[in-house]
Each structure stands twice: as C-alpha cells, then as structure tokens.
Amino acid sequence: MNALQKAPAFVVLLLAMVGSGFPGSIFAEEARATTDEQAQAELFRQIEQLRERIAELEKKQDPQGKEPADGELADLLAEAEELTKDEVAREQEIEADRKSAKGGGQRSLQAMNPEISFLGDVAYEYTSGDMKDGFRLLGAELGLQAALDPYTRFKAFLGAHQEPFELELGHDHDDPAADGHAHSEAIGLHVGEMYMEWVALPSRLRLTVGKFRQQYGTLNRWHIHALPTAEIPFALRNTFGPMGLVGLGVDLYWQLPSFWSSSNALTLQVTNADNPVAFAGSAWRDPAFLLRYTAFFDLGPDAYFDFGLNAVQGANDESGDNKTLVAGVDFNYLWEPVQRARYRNIELRGEWIYTRAQQPAADAVSANSFYLYLTFKLNRQWSIGFRFDDAELPFDRFHLFDPDTLEEMAFREGLREVALTPYLTFWQSEFVRLRLQYQHVERDFATSWGGDSDNKVWIQATFGAGPHKHDQY
C-alpha cells in the first residue's frame, strides 16, 4: 500500500484541490482508477482462492474420478465461473467509461446528466363518517441526483400532492370558495427538496445548503411515500403540518468519535422559521435552530438499536418575541437474522414529542405526544404492522368544533386524539408496493380532517422508476 492510500481522506482531498485547481483534475481521475484497481485485485484474489480450493478437492478424488460428496466441487466451479463473468462485465464497464471520458461527444455529455427517478403514490380513501370518499393523489415526485464533482453532490425533488379530503364543518355553503371539498381537490406543486452537499470534509464533517426535510427524529426526514403507513403520524402532523418539517437553510453534520456507542453523530441546522404550524410561517423574522444527537448500538450480527435527542426552536409570530420549542426522543430497534434478512425481521420504532409555545399576553401552551410502530416481515414480499398514536393538540392554530353541536369551540390544553392503525404491505417488486390500511380514531373534538371518532380505510399503490426509489434516511 503506498503513502497516498494510507493518508487520511481529507489529506487526499487537500492535495487534489491544491494540485489541480479545479474539480475535474487528473488527480481525481487517478484516485478513481486506483479504487478500480483495488477492486479488481480483490476480485482476482477471491478467484485465486477458489481455484486453490478446487485443486485441493481434485486431489481428494478417488481413482474413478468421482467428485466429492454433496457436489461441493461443482458449486465451487459455478461460483468461480460467476465471479469470472462479473469481472469481465466490470472490465467492459470500466473501459466504456474511460472511452466516454476521453472521446467527448454525446456519450460524455450523457454521463454528465443527473440520475432521474419518478415516484407515484395513489390511494382510495373510505371513511365511515361524513368525510368524502374517493381516490387521492398522495404524491407524485420527480427526483434528480448527481455528483457535481469529487467533493459535492446535489439532490432535487419536485413534487405534487392533493390536500386531504375535508369535512364541511364550519363552512358557508352559500359561498363555493368556502367549501372544504374545493380545497381538498386542489393539487399543489412545490419544490420538496433542493440542496447541495459537501462530502468528506475534514474531521468527518458534511455541509448541506438548500431546502431539505429536516432531521427532526427519524420519520420526518423520510419522504411521505417511504413511510410505513399511508400518512404521517399524528404527533408530527399536529406539530409541523401534514408535510412535516421542511426548512431552507444550512445543515452541518458531524460524525463524532465512538466514545460510548458504536457510532455517534451531531446535527446542527439553521433555517427560516417559515413552518406555518410550529413557527411564524411567511411572517418569520428570525431563523430557527435545530440540534440533534444520535447514537447507534450494534447488538450483534442480527440486531441493532439507535436513538436520537432532538430540539428545535423558532419564533412563532411576526414580532419574533414569542418562541416555540419542540423537543423529543426517538428510537428504533431492528432484529433481522443474517441468514434470513430478506424474509424475516421485527422492527419497533417510536418517538415522543414535547412542545411549548409562548403566547402574547397569555401563558405558554404545552403538549405531549407520541407514536409507536411495530412491524413484522412475514416473508420476502409481505409484512404486517401496527401504529399507535396518542397526540395532544400543541397550538391554537386549528379550527375546532364541538363533537355534539358541531359549533366552533375554543382551544384548550389537553385536547387529544388517540388512534390505532393496522396495515398490511405487499412488495410486488422493488418498484411496486401495495398496501391495505385501517384506522380507528377517538378525539376530544371535531376538525375539518375528521369527526370526534371515525374509521378509515386506505387502499394504496406506490410505484417508483429510476435508480432511487422509496428513500429512507
């Protein structure tokens, strides 16, 4: 191994920047070539080991030339042949890349294009209450991803979704513009995410600039179509809105040394406080600050456990004098036997969220909410799970109605909704997922998104085309 290979990643990066002056330097090409050569050397070493093993087995053959018991020699020969095929294919791919890099023209330009993915998420929603039944576009997403140079990459997700169906509580039916159904049938276009990352910075740092789903807990970072259920948990929805917490700003991620767990990390994000539920919305004046600590514990070959501590604070009114604090803890436990990882696993995931919102000329409002997921993978395609929600309304920003009289009611601390949501998921392939979901909810109030109690069923179909599908973070 030469000195360059032994050097830390940030030293190699510094040499590349100084030696070349621009991202597409010969140094970067040589570094990639070195990586390819190492991969080829490792593959050749595996093939040579197989050949030596085959030679040993051939020596053990009896005079009649019979193969060892259980067809061990035949299995090894087949494995060696497969490795040889893989190596030939890899060499052809490397040679094609080299030709495209040197030859310019259409092939080289095509290599510079970003990777493109498309995801669709459609569901039929049925409810036992007065909610409208029908098909709804949960999401349509166009994803673009590319490495800009050896040091940076970008991601962009352009999305469209249909607002949830609403009850007609509290609307003036003589005014068509006030009809809740008209709102629910609208499809909104938006930039879901658009950011650039600097990777492999010194001291195991990563810097992100742009618009991104913020790293509050685990599930908030996931795109809606990647969630274990058809919709976001109540605790996140009530705190940040139906699309979760998305911010425009900067993100600094630091992979900490392993001092008490297998892995530790710290995330600091500074964004506009423009979330319309938790913060000041379009009237934001001061930025919001988010801090997250995560710890990962390797529990052996078949299981792991991780948890996170979260806090985000920002102004919740135009003056900037009143703040909202959202803090909490999230965890995830996964058991997945190594030999049966494609067919069996058990996952337990949960999050507790505490909110405290200051109000002008009034006491601050506090709320506690949590959710739990328990999912069982039955085989390679089928899984079944349950979600439990117990969520308090954290803010006086909802139109509430008395469940008996359907007249508007005042907000007070402690109003809550409790739900049980079983779901059955079928993965037809990695490109197509089907889901059947049921939900029963009990509330202390009625809102435009549901009565005091209701039962709802989703029949959901999600599909993805392209290299990046159903991203989970």
- Asked if the structure places residue 123 within a domain, the reply is yes
Strand partners, 295: 264, 307
Q: Are residues 61 and 202 in the same domain?
A: no
Angle at 106 between CA 101 and CA 107, to 5 degrees: 45
pLDDT, position 64: 52
CA torsion, points 65, 66, 69, 70, in degrees to nearest 10? Answer: 120
Q: Strands, DSSP E only, in 202-240?
A: 205-213
Q: Are residues 362 and 445 in the same domain?
A: yes
Amino acid letter at 63? P
> Does residue 302 surpass a pLDDT of 50?
yes
> Does residue 7 surpass a pLDDT of 80?
no
Q: Are residues 326 and 259 in the same domain?
A: yes
Q: Report the C-alpha gap between 109 and 470 in whole angstroms.
A: 28
Q: How many domains does the chain have?
A: 2
Q: What is the pLDDT of residues 11-27, one digit of tens each?
A: 344 344 434 443 333 33
DSSP state of 378: -
Q: What is the pLDDT of residues 281-295, one digit of tens each?
A: 988 989 999 999 999
Q: What is the pLDDT of residues 365-384, one digit of tens each?
A: 999 999 999 999 999 999 99
Higher pLDDT, 133 or 27: 133
Closest C-alpha to 121, from 212, 277, 226:
226
Higher pLDDT, 452 or 141: 141
pLDDT band at residue 446, thresholds of 50, 70 and 90? confident
> Does residue 87 surpass a pLDDT of 70?
no
Give me the residue label for tokens 């039929």. 124
- When mean pLDDT is compared across 84-88, 94-98, 318-322, the lowest value belongs to 94-98
> Does residue 348 surpass a pLDDT of 90?
yes
| DSSP H helices in 60-200 | 72-103, 105-111, 180-184
Q: How many CB atoms lie within 10 A of CB 19?
A: 11
Q: Are residues 133 and 169 in the same domain?
A: yes
User: Which of 75, 109, 143 marks a domain boundary?
Assistant: 109
**Residues 6 or more apart from 41 whose CB is under 8 A from it?**
none
- When mean pLDDT is compared across 291-300, 360-369, 393-402, the lowest value belongs to 393-402
- Asked if the structure places residue 136 within a domain, the reply is yes
Q: What is the mean pLDDT of the chain?
A: 81
Tell me the residue range of the domain where 47 lies: 3-109
Hey, what are 392's tokens? 């308090």
**Residues 6 or more apart from 208 whose CB is under 8 A from it?**
195, 196, 197, 198, 250, 251, 252, 253
Q: Are residues 74 and 147 in the same domain?
A: no
Q: Are residues 123 and 75 in the same domain?
A: no
Give me the residue label for tokens 């006030």. 178
Hey, what are 179's tokens? 């009809």
Higher pLDDT, 379 or 131: 379
User: Which of 91, 109, 127 marks a domain boundary?
Assistant: 109
Q: Report the C-alpha gap between 172 and 305 in whole angstroms.
A: 51
Share of the chain above pLDDT 90, in %: 51
For the chain, what percentages of helix, strand and coil (3-state, to nearest 5) are there? 25, 45, 30
pLDDT, position 22: 37
- Asked if the structure places residue 470 within a domain, the reply is no
pLDDT, position 176: 38
Q: Could you tell me the CATH number of the domain that includes residue 367?
A: 2.40.160.10
> Does residue 270 surpass a pLDDT of 50?
yes
Residues 423-443, mean pLDDT to the nearest whole number? 95
Q: Are residues 57 and 147 in the same domain?
A: no
Q: What is the pLDDT of residues 189-221, one digit of tens each?
A: 889 999 999 988 999 999 999 999 999 998 999
Share of the chain above pLDDT 70, in %: 74
> Does residue 179 surpass a pLDDT of 50?
no
User: Which of 109, 124, 152 marks a domain boundary?
Assistant: 109
Hey, what are 441's tokens? 């909810």
Residues 225-237, mean pLDDT to the nearest whole number? 94
- Asked if the structure places residue 26 within a domain, the reply is yes
- Asked if the structure places residue 471 within a domain, the reply is no
pLDDT, position 431: 92
Higher pLDDT, 98 or 77: 77
Q: Are residues 274 and 301 in the same domain?
A: yes
- When mean pLDDT is compared across 155-164, 236-245, 319-328, the lowest value belongs to 155-164
Q: Are residues 418 and 273 in the same domain?
A: yes
- Asked if the structure places residue 73 within a domain, the reply is yes
> Does residue 125 surpass a pLDDT of 70?
yes
pLDDT band at residue 177, thresholds of 50, 70 and 90? very low
Q: Are residues 269 and 417 in the same domain?
A: yes
Q: Are residues 237 and 320 in the same domain?
A: yes
pLDDT band at residue 1, thresholds of 50, 70 and 90? very low
What is the DSSP secondary-structure string of 37-76? HHHHHHHHHHHHHHHHHHHHHHHT--TT-PPPGGGHHHHH
Q: Do 326 and 292 meet the contact criterion of CB atoms below 8 Å apart?
A: no
- Asked if the structure places residue 91 within a domain, the reply is yes
pLDDT, position 441: 94
Q: What is the pLDDT of residues 399-420, one digit of tens each?
A: 888 877 778 888 888 899 999 9
Hey, what are 33's tokens? 């070539």
- Asked if the structure places residue 472 within a domain, the reply is no
Give the Å distances, CA to CA, from 393 to 21, 139, 233, 413, 414: 54, 26, 13, 7, 7
Q: Are residues 81 and 139 in the same domain?
A: no
3-state secondary structure of 347: strand
Q: Report the C-alpha gap between 423 and 387 in whole angstroms.
A: 8
> Does residue 305 surpass a pLDDT of 80?
yes
> Does residue 34 surpass a pLDDT of 50?
no
> Does residue 58 surpass a pLDDT of 70?
no
